[in-house]
Amino acid sequence: MLDYFDMESTLTEEERLLVDSARSFIDGEVDDVGQHWIDGTFPTEIIPKMGEMGFYAPNLEGYGLPGVSERAYGLLMRELEACDSGLRSMASVQGALVMYPIHAFGSDEQKEEWLPRLGTGEAVGCFGLTEPEHGSNPSAMETMAEPDGDEYVLNGSKTWITNSPIADVAVVWAKDHGEEGTPVRGFLVETDRDGVTTNEIKEKLSLRASITGEISLQNVRIPAENRLPGVSGMKGPLSCLTQARYGIAWGAVGAAADCFEAAREYATDREQFGKPIGGFQLQQEKLAEMATQITLAQLLAHRLADLKEAGEMRPQHVSMAKRNNVRTARDQSRIAREMLGGNGITADYSPMRHMANMETVYTYEGTHDIHSLILGEDLTGLQAFQ
């Protein structure tokens, strides 16, 4: 993988081992991601294998979790997304969006019940924040939880939920009508409860090797102890997003670097006008720009890891890195596709698949625009969302 400034030499032994094991896992276990992408399927047989490898929430401690460095977690996301954004999404949702809130805000019973099973991939989780009418502004959500004796009754609908059709448990964010001001709270909802349906959203033209669905909740009764006790308000879901966005900032580097390698290899092999196309100045300029932009994104990800390790990372740092690195991957995958000519539009090569995936990655976990506004507010003190 492109490493122009030799950042790999700064990795610890543990981090290097994790990169190597992720690469050999992908080579050995992920058979044909291009075919899954065409078919619109996820290779579900690798879900427990990814658990065995310690790919879910590897940066968390306890409950059998590896507790690796934040950089190692980022590098893992990079390796997974170099294969396909669908693999990184699987790990992001399970680790950062389901296990993290249980770990950070759950009761001891919730942690003991779910973290070991989610960590091994025996159980699959999903994260329900977005609603049909409330995407970028989730604080306007309509899903509600009404207390009724020692239970809650949930009503509402969530959409665009990664893995909801195959999930055993959903972390559902809803307004708690039992509390003054109806603050947003997290609820653990087992998907086999009466009143839960999780229809799949089919025929996506992006992130095809990932399962996406809705969560419909109609008078769903859950025990009151299924509420996450440790957090109240939008801070709950938003702090999960910070963890996942950190992984995306790294993942985008992997997707872009994979496109770069495909373009470089093609440019040295493919001949036109009697010589490899890589010998023409126009193609060299594209490779030079691609390598530069990917290197900048990679350096940003490494610095973000330093800040996270030191406990100095702010959500706005993550916004800048997610925003920049995904834009880089989106732009550079398109240039790589272009360099492959007609072959570039087939699934035999990765750039167009990554390019299509990046439309989702540019949109989820806060759209590019929303991250501009988060940065704009931080830089001016003036809020421009409304």
- Among candidate residues 15, 81, 131, 365, the one labeled active-site is 365
Alpha-helix runs per DSSP H in the chain: 13-29, 33-39, 46-52, 70-83, 85-91, 100-105, 108-120, 235-269, 281-309, 315-339, 351-363, 368-380
Cβ(202)–Cβ(171) under 8 Å? no
- Pairing of the two strands 125-128 and 144-148: unpaired
Helix (H, G, I), strand (E, B) or coil at 189: strand
Q: Which CB sits closer to ligand TGC, 83 or 277?
A: 83
Helix (H, G, I), strand (E, B) or coil at 316: helix
In the complex, minimum distance from the CB of residue 191 to ligand TGC, in angstroms, rounded to a whole number? 17
Question: Among the candidate windows 110-118, 196-204, 339-347, 359-367, which touches ligand TGC by CB under 6 A?
Answer: 359-367
- Among candidate residues 162, 301, 165, 184, the one with its CA nearest the CA of residue 237: 184
Contact between 370 and ligand FAD (CB under 6 A)? yes
Contact between 93 and ligand TGC (CB under 6 A)? yes
Residue that the structure tokens 């122009």 belong to: 4
Question: Among the candidate windows 63-71, 172-180, 215-223, 241-249, which touches ligand TGC by CB under 6 A?
Answer: 241-249
Contact between 238 and ligand TGC (CB under 6 A)? yes
DSSP 20-67: HHHHHHHHHH---HHHHHHHT---TTHHHHHHHTT-SSTT--STT---
Out of 69, 94, 162, 319, name the contact with ligand FAD by CB under 6 A: 162
Residue that the structure tokens 């196309």 belong to: 277
Q: Which CB sits closer to ligand TGC, 245 or 286?
A: 245
In the complex, minimum distance from the CB of residue 377 to ligand TGC, in angstroms, rounded to a whole number? 8
Helix (H, G, I), strand (E, B) or coil at 169: strand
Q: Which of residues 54-113 bind ligand FAD (CB under 6 A)?
A: 93
Out of 19, 57, 161, 188, name the contact with ligand FAD by CB under 6 A: 161
- Among candidate residues 371, 327, 360, the one with its CA nearest the CA of residue 86: 360
Q: How far apart are CA 183 and CA 201, in angstroms?
A: 29
Residue that the structure tokens 């916004």 belong to: 319
Contact between 199 and ligand FAD (CB under 6 A)? no
Q: Which of residues 259-318 bind ligand TGC (CB under 6 A)?
A: 315
State the amino acid at position 136 in one-letter form.
S
Contact between 241 and ligand TGC (CB under 6 A)? yes
DSSP 91-127: HIIIIIIIIHHHHHH--HHHHHHHHHHHHHTSS-EEE
Phi, psi for 160 (deg, rounded to 5): 60, 45
Out of 226, 242, 328, 350, name the contact with ligand TGC by CB under 6 A: 242
Out of 105, 114, 127, 246, name the contact with ligand FAD by CB under 6 A: 127
Contact between 365 and ligand TGC (CB under 6 A)? yes
User: Which of ligand TGC, ligand FAD, none does residue 139 bind (CB under 5 to 8 Å by kind)?
Assistant: ligand TGC
Contact between 135 and ligand FAD (CB under 6 A)? yes
Question: Among the candidate windows 129-137, 218-226, 249-257, 293-301, which touches ligand FAD by CB under 6 A?
Answer: 129-137
User: Which of ligand TGC, ligand FAD, none does residue 369 bind (CB under 5 to 8 Å by kind)?
Assistant: ligand FAD
Contact between 206 and ligand TGC (CB under 6 A)? no
In the complex, minimum distance from the CB of residue 91 to ligand FAD, in angstroms, rounded to a whole number? 13
Q: How far apart are CA 113 and CA 169, in angstroms?
A: 11
365 is catalytic: yes
Out of 100, 160, 260, 349, name the contact with ligand FAD by CB under 6 A: 160
Interface contacts to ligand FAD, rule CB under 6 A? 93, 127-130, 135-136, 160-162, 207, 212, 360, 363-364, 367, 369-370, 385
Interface contacts to ligand TGC, rule CB under 6 A? 89, 92-93, 127, 129-130, 136-139, 162, 233-235, 238-239, 241-242, 244, 315, 364-366, 370, 374, 385
